[in-house]
Chains A and B, each alone.
Chain A
Amino acid sequence: MARSLSRTLRFTIFTLVEYTRSGRILVELAATTIFFYIFLRRWTSAPPPNYFFSTVALFELALSFYTSASIMALGDRPQGYLILARRVGRNGYLLGLYLAVLAIAVALYGLISLATALYNPVAGLTLAGWLAGTTPLLLNVALLSALLALMAPMVLPASARLTVLALIAVAFSGSLIGGQTLAGLPGPLVAVLSVLRTIFSTPLLPAFTGFELALSRDYSGLALAIPLAQFSLTLGLLALALYAFARREIIFSGA
């Protein structure tokens, strides 16, 4: 177990070094700089905590989406055969790629936080408050990255990916389909859609409530269950990705 973890971490470092030396990291660094300049540079007064966490949370999600896609594509190249033929194995390979995405997302978040603290401190935000908002924010990043690892072409075949996307679309159908359009649909269809939306949006609850928790930083009552739910869902998605990858025929497609 310790050896397996060590191999996975070594592969994570290997991927990060490759990602950095290839220059791909420059895209993230440039995006982060632009984001900071537009949204967090001191214009007039210090930003409130809600503003900081909401803008950074959305930016981090968008950035981790890009980083996940880039790193999964990096893993989906024939170079990977040499690594998979070693003791790293399939689980270590996929986990290593996933951890590399997380490492980049966390590092850039740390960079944004540090730059904000230095050049434009958030009004009234203590270290404890920062940690309270950061935990659900980064758990959401981990959750999205796990979903994207599952959706990588080397993990799930196209048909399965389309199915997952369809389920996500149903879950979001309340937001995607406007009220007027919904009213125009036949009654039974609306009812079925409503039931499906309830079922398929339930797994997304930890993500949405996690976002709210990052803004409120209020852990009273049962709010502590939210990060736990985020973490559990992340583990569930990762387990599903590892299960699918372990059974997949490996035919790397990238150049």
Chain B
Amino acid sequence: MDAIEIQDLYKSYDGLSVLRGLDLRVPQGSVYGLLGPNGSGKSTLIHLLLGFLRPNRGTLRVLGQHDLALVRGRIGYLPERLRYHLHYTGREYLRYLGQFSDMAGPQLARRVADELDAVGLSAAADRRLATYSKGMLQRLGIAQALLATPDMLLIDEPTSGLDPAGQREILDLLGELRQRGHTIFLATHFLDEIDLLCDTVGILYDGRLAEQIDVPTLRAPGRSALLKLAHITPELQAQLAQLSPAVRSSGREIALQPNTPALQAQVLRALLDANVPIISLEPQSRPLEEIYMRVVRGEPGDQALEQAPPGMFVPPGHPDALAAAPPARRSNGDTLLRELLGRPDGEAGPPDSEQAKK
């Protein structure tokens, strides 16, 4: 059973369409990131999932139920805006919220203490929320979302408005939740949150799911990488240049373009053998950012770039070319794209939404 099943969902406010035929599924136990620009309908979707809003059309099932009142209390919700009842202390507030979820007595007291401890607020538990920083309030938000041990978490823009240290804290906490196997639906417009936390990312644009991508496929080495070194000798530069035409040296920098795991390993081995201190190794492109920007700019997709493993993009003579290249097929005028994707005739071209979702 999927934790969230949405089919052909429409929602508009005062005649303004926000969601227009949204289809989306979130498997239980997964971390799903919904990416989209401000105003794209991410918060609206979360409010629909919580039953605060009602769809104009389409079906929506949460934890197997169409009647969302039946799943009330089984969902932990972390809202975008840090709006809490500030006249309570952290402990009092969690205790009341626990009571609203039918918790009571020593079990409630223990859960409150555990969650305050988990988010690092034990020391501030008896201070009024009005004295909390934004980061502390957001941590309290995570504690309250987890208090009733929900089956699923709906998290809306968790790091919005926080300073970098606060963002780091929240991402670390969410990372721990991910490790614990929670089903999480995370709406955000920060790519880093998706990169760090999610199994799958959907890009919400123009009221629909414009793309859906498995995040691990984006975590392969960047298609190009830049190595910064403390120093490099001309001999070593020449040695590296012999590895592949994809290796280009310039001063104390070495560019690998296109990059592959095998080439990267060879270059690093050569540098380590020569005792060259490496200052940094950075990818020069971010696939998710590229896909996101393409979607919001309305540009056609480049499925080959999005889905093919890095080893496919190798120039002649590249060390990966022999290992990674598929066996030659009989060509009848297919495009390179069709060849690379290994598709039969007539299927190449820009990805349609259905293909992109798979």
> Which of B's residues lie within 8 Å of A, judged by CB?
47, 50, 52-54, 69, 72-73, 75, 77, 79, 81, 83-85, 87-88, 96-97, 99-102, 144, 148
Contact = CB atoms under 8 A, between A and B. Distances in A.
A79 B129 CA distance: 13
A10 interface: yes
Given A22-B87, A250-B52, A83 B97 contact: yes
Given A85-B50, A86-B72, A17 B87 contact: yes
B144 A82 contact: yes
Interface string A63-107: 000000000000001110111111111000000000000000000
Nearest to B141: A82
A18 B85 contact: yes
Given A87-B100, A89-B69, A78 B54 contact: no
A78 B100 contact: no
A13 B250 CA distance: 70
Contacts of B100: 7, 10-11, 14, 83, 86-88
Contacts of B69: 89
Contact of B97 (A17, A86, A89): A86
A83 B144 CA distance: 11
A249 B53 contact: yes
A14 B96 contact: yes
A86 B73 contact: yes
B54 A249 contact: yes
A89 B51 CA distance: 10
Given A14-B96, A17-B88, A85 B77 contact: yes
Nearest to A255: B83
Contact of B72 (A11, A22, A81, A85): A85
Contact of A79 (B52, B83, B148): B83
A77 B83 contact: yes
Contacts of A89: 69, 72
A86 B102 CA distance: 9
Contacts of A21: 87-88
What bracket does the count of chain A residues touching chain B fall in?
20 to 34
Nearest to A20: B87
Q: State the majority secondary structure of interface residues on B.
A: loop
A79 B84 contact: yes
B77 A3 contact: no
Contact of A84 (B52, B101, B144): B52
Contacts of A83: 97, 100
Contacts of A3: 102
6 contacts: A10-B99, A22-B87, A81-B77, A81-B79, A82-B77, A82-B144
A24 to B, nearest CB: 10
Contacts of A22: 87
Contacts of A14: 85, 96, 100
B220 to A, nearest CB: 38
A79 B102 contact: no
Contacts of B144: 82
Nearest to B78: A82
A81 B84 CA distance: 10
A82 B84 contact: yes
Contacts of B50: 81, 84-85
Interface in A235-253: 249-251
Contacts of A86: 72-73, 97, 100-101, 148
A26 B31 CA distance: 48
Given A14-B85, A21-B88, A83-B100, 20 more contacts: A3-B102, A7-B100, A11-B100, A21-B87, A22-B87, A78-B79, A78-B81, A78-B83, A79-B83, A79-B85, A81-B47, A82-B79, A82-B84, A83-B97, A84-B52, A85-B72, A85-B77, A87-B100, A88-B100, A250-B52
Contacts of B72: 85-87, 89
A87 B77 contact: no
A6 B15 CA distance: 40
Contacts of B73: 86-87
Nearest to A83: B100
B52 A249 contact: yes
Contacts of A84: 50, 52
Contact of B75 (A10, A85, A250): A85
Given A85-B75, A250-B52, A7 B99 contact: yes
Contacts of B101: 86-87
Nearest to A249: B53
Residue of B53, B72, B84 ringed by the most chain A CB atoms within 10 A: B72
Residue of B47, B53, B79, B85 ringed by the most chain A CB atoms within 10 A: B85
Nearest to B147: A86
> Nearest 4 A-B pairs (CB), nearest first?
A21-B87, A86-B100, A87-B73, A250-B52
Interface string A1-32: 00100010011001001100110000000000
A100 B81 CA distance: 26
Contacts of A7: 99-100, 102
Contacts of A81: 47, 50, 52, 77, 79
Contacts of A17: 87-88
A86 to B, nearest CB: 4
A87 B83 contact: no
